[in-house]
Amino acid sequence: MKLDVLNIQGQKTGKQVDLPEDIFGIEPNEHAIYLATKQYLAHQRQGTHKAKERGEITGSTRKIKKQKGTGTARAGSIKSGVFRGGGRMFGPRPRKYNIKLNKKVKALARKSALSGKVAAEQVMILEDFTFDTPKTSEFVNILNNLELTGKKTLLVTGDKDDALLLSSRNIQRAGVTRVQDLNVYDVLNAKVLILSENSIEKIKESFA
């Protein structure tokens, strides 16, 4: 499977990149994609929610009324959850929402997501480039040249590029990541996936 390589002016360079079929041309496994997306979203949850229960409320432990003869239910503490200002019954406690997923399933999910993007013709190959200094306007010009203004895009680079990352950080619906940090959710969330030339080799190495 071959795709044309474009430059930052949006023009064909005359070069083509051969995408490996075992990564970009498989039959997408929907269940693996679901599990990987579920794991990613679960890991975004902080799990720091907490409510004070009966034993953590500050207050007197004096029995507030006699046991019998009041005509109402017995009550032994003002800190009971049935009273205003009392502890919460079975309140939330800090916990982790992490989900374990096998490496082979995660790899299959990534391949499936990439293959689905290629099948939907939502992948572009961009010639390697870099910025000397962070410049948002230059990144905006590249998106304009590629006719991607206003679309959700994700640019995948082979190596970390701080100048490129800072240039895109203030642009809505545009993101930059490296192959090492690429996940299924980001791939699916992007309307157009832009792969730099050097990222192709990194992707091949990660699935080797």
Every domain of the chain and the residues it spans: 2-45+98-206, 47-96
* Its pTM surpasses 0.85: no
DSSP string, the chain: -EEEEE-TTS-EEEEEEE--HHHHSSPP-HHHHHHHHHHHHHHT---------GGGS-S--S--S-SSSSSS-----TTSTTSTT-PPTT------------HHHHHHHHHHHHHHHHHTT-EEEE-----SS--HHHHHHHHHHTT-TTS-EEEEESS--HHHHHHHTTSTTEEEEEGGG--HHHHHH-SEEEEEHHHHHHHHHHT-
The residue count for the chain: 208
Pick the more confident residue, 35 or 15.
35
187: which 2 tokens? 């791939």
Report the pLDDT averaged over residues 149-174: 91
Is 2-45+98-206 assigned to CATH 3.40.50.720? Answer: no
| Per-residue confidence (pLDDT) for residue 52, from 0 to 100 | 95
193-207 residue pLDDT tens: 999 999 999 999 988
| CA–CA distances in Å: residue 67 to residues 70, 71, 76 | 8, 10, 8
Cα separation of 33 and 155, whole Å?
A: 20
pLDDT at 2 over 90: no
94-122 residue pLDDT tens: 999 999 999 999 999 999 999 999 999 99
Q: At what angle do helices 103-119 and 30-43 cross, to 10 degrees?
A: 110
Q: Under a CB-based contact definition with an 8 Å cutoff, are residues 94 and 50 in contact?
A: yes
Cα separation of 2 and 109, whole Å?
A: 22
